């Protein structure tokens, strides 16, 4: 079935699609195909179904992105920016820290929360938010990656891609072990 994203929160990990039949369908972020997260107004295709609490969409695929106000620029570098779920502008989220720990990132235009932090990949792989390796990786991310443009692009990509990757890894222990190897090297270097 075809439909449009009525509402989606990357922070909460779920949203609703209004289908061509006029019904609202709940969907979990894990049902979204590909690395790109949906934003409000995106056209999608999905498999309609019934969940315990009502209509539910699976196999959600974005077919066309909703146009944002700043869409007219042809600058390819804008691709590493995220779309604010509140105001719809393309932006680089600003990271808010509290006692040195990143708390969330916000849209620099409207101040809306873009993402609450957890180190998605590392937490899923290590299974513990406060494992020493996870803390070291967070520090590496905050102190090293942020200082250069490539690092910022990486962070942006990482935050867009990693919730689905983390969900994928959480169910695959062997693969998790493989991912852990390079992460361990990084963590030790910055621990
Ligand atoms: Zn905004």
**Ligand 1 midpoint to CA 88 (Å):** 6
Helix (H) or strand (E) segment spanning residue 190 = helix 173-190
**Ligand 1 midpoint to CA 132 (Å):** 34
According to the model, what pLDDT value does residue 50 have?
Answer: 93
According to the model, what pLDDT value does residue 184 have?
Answer: 63
95 is written with which tokens? 């990271």
Residues of the chain with pLDDT under 50: 69-78, 191
Beta strands in the chain (DSSP E): 2-9, 14-19, 24-28, 43-51, 54-64, 82-83, 90-91, 94-98, 101-106, 113-116
**Ligand 1 midpoint to CA 125 (Å):** 31
**Ligand 1 midpoint to CA 91 (Å):** 8
List the domains of the chain with CATH numbers. 2-64 (2.40.50.140), 76-190 (no CATH)
> In whole angstroms, what is the distance from residue 138 CA to residue 55 CA?
38
Which pLDDT tens digit goes with each residue over 61-109?
999 888 654 444 444 444 557 888 899 988 888 877 766 666 778 888 8
């Amino acid at each position: 079935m075809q439909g449009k994203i009525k509402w989606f929160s990357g922070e909460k990990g779920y949203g609703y699609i209004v289908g061509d039949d006029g019904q609202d369908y709940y969907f979990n972020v894990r049902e979204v195909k590909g690395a790109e997260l949906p934003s409000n107004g995106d056209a999608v295709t999905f498999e309609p179904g019934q969940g315990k609490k009502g209509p539910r969409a699976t196999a959600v695929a974005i077919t066309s992105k909703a146009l944002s106000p700043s869409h007219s620029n042809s600058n390819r570098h804008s691709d590493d920016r995220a779309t604010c779920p509140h105001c719809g502008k393309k932006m680089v989220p600003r990271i808010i820290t509290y006692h040195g720990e990143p708390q969330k990132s916000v849209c620099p235009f409207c101040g809306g929360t873009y993402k609450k932090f957890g180190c998605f990949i590392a937490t899923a792989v290590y299974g513990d938010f406060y494992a020493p390796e996870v803390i070291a990786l967070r520090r590496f991310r905050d102190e090293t990656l942020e200082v250069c443009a490539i690092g910022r692009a990486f962070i942006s990509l990482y935050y867009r891609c990693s919730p689905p990757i983390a969900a994928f890894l959480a169910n695959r222990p062997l693969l998790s072990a493989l991912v852990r190897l390079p992460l361990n090297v990084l963590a030790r270097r910055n621990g």
